[in-house]
């Protein structure tokens, strides 16, 4: 049941597998999801060196792609957040820590718990990233490497059902940019983002009725905010960043 007492029709633009999970969570809270994937995930061939000290994973797509790329499950894996960590556990990885934050927080977690003398640290990631956790490690003297495990293929149109939506969920700067290219001029959306950084490119765009950033970068925090929107409206304001 929604906290604010208002059921919303919510546009979910995530890739199919993740979008279906989000849709289930929305229904459990009394909202109406409209699945409209704006990306397709394409796995890329990559080698995961079993001799690395640890692997860093910055997204749920990265977790799924890592699980598909290697049968090794004993290596320490550091995840950006709890959802990514949960996916890794479900895939059988045994030694997992969560930064419970963003890529910068993951870099700091790795710097605290890993040792430059114990070998290379690998970032398992997609072809496009905004921030890398490896920057912090390189400054601390770590040997680092990257394995590009997937890429996102953008799709170019929303389904007709999307015109019934009043709200959209945005999980990354990339999804915000893709959303901005496909929303019809007649649609107005309240946008809930996983962070201020994820929605910053949407300020002042004509389809945006209001922007709302979760207090913590997790889907649970996003959905809690979505439930509370009628009680806690946040006007679109360039100073609210």
Overall average pLDDT of the 62-91 stretch: 95
For the ranges 2-6, 76-80, 127-131, 209-213, which has the lowest average pLDDT?
Answer: 2-6
Task: Give per-residue pLDDT as tens, 128-177.
Answer: 887 899 999 999 999 999 999 999 888 888 989 999 999 999 998 888 99
User: Which tokens go with 49?
Assistant: 């060196």
Q: What is the pLDDT of residue 5?
A: 53
Flag whether pLDDT at 204 surpasses 80. yes
User: Which tokens go with 175?
Assistant: 């999804």
Q: What is the pLDDT of residue 131?
A: 84
Flag whether pLDDT at 209 surpasses 60. yes
Q: Residue 234's pLDDT band (boundaries 50, 70, 90)?
A: very low
CB 214 within 8 A of CB 221: yes
Average pLDDT, the chain: 90
Q: Residue 2's pLDDT band (boundaries 50, 70, 90)?
A: low
Q: What is the pLDDT of residue 147?
A: 96
Given this chain, do its domains 9-38+155-228 and 41-152 carry the same CATH topology? yes
SS3 assignment, position 235: strand
Flag whether pLDDT at 6 surpasses 80. no
CB 3 within 8 A of CB 228: yes
Strands (DSSP E) along the chain, which ranges?
Answer: 9-12, 32-35, 39-43, 54-57, 77-79, 96-98, 121-126, 144-154, 167-170, 189-193, 208-213
Percent of the chain past pLDDT 70, that is, above it, reads 93
CB 184 within 8 A of CB 161: no
Overall CATH class of domain 41-152? alpha beta
CB 19 within 8 A of CB 13: yes
Flag whether pLDDT at 84 surpasses 80. yes
User: Which tokens go with 159?
Assistant: 């389904």
Is the alpha carbon torsion for 64, 66, 68, 74 positive or negative? negative
Domain map (residue ranges) of the chain: 9-38+155-228, 41-152
- Domain 9-38+155-228 adopts which CATH fold? Rossmann fold (3.40.50)
Task: Name the residue with higher pLDDT: 240 or 27.
Answer: 27
Overall residue count recorded for the chain in this entry? 241
């Amino acid at each position: 049941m929604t906290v604010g007492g208002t059921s919303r029709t919510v546009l979910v633009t995530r890739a199919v597998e993740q979008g279906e999970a989000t849709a289930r969570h929305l229904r459990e809270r009394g909202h109406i999801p409209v699945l409209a994937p704006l990306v397709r995930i394409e796995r890329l061939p990559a080698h995961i060196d079993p001799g690395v000290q640890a692997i860093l994973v910055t997204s749920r797509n990265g977790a799924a792609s890592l699980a598909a790329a290697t049968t090794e499950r004993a290596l320490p894996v550091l995840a950006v957040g709890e959802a990514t960590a949960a996916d890794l556990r479900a895939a059988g990885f045994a030694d997992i820590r969560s930064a419970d934050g963003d890529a910068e927080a993951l870099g700091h977690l790795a710097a605290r718990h890993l040792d430059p003398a114990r070998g290379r640290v690998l970032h398992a990631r997609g072809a496009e990233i905004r921030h890398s956790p490896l920057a912090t490690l390189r400054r601390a003297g770590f040997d680092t490497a990257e394995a590009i495990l997937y890429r996102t293929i953008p799709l170019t149109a929303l389904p007709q059902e999307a015109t019934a939506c009043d709200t959209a969920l945005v999980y990354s700067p990339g999804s915000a940019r893709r959303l901005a290219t496909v929303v019809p001029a007649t649609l107005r959306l309240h946008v809930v983002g996983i962070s201020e950084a994820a929605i910053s490119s949407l300020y002042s765009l004509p389809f945006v009725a209001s922007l709302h950033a979760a207090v913590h970068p997790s889907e649970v925090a996003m959905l809690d905010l979505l439930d509370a929107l009628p009680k806690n409206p946040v006007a679109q304001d360039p100073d609210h960043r």
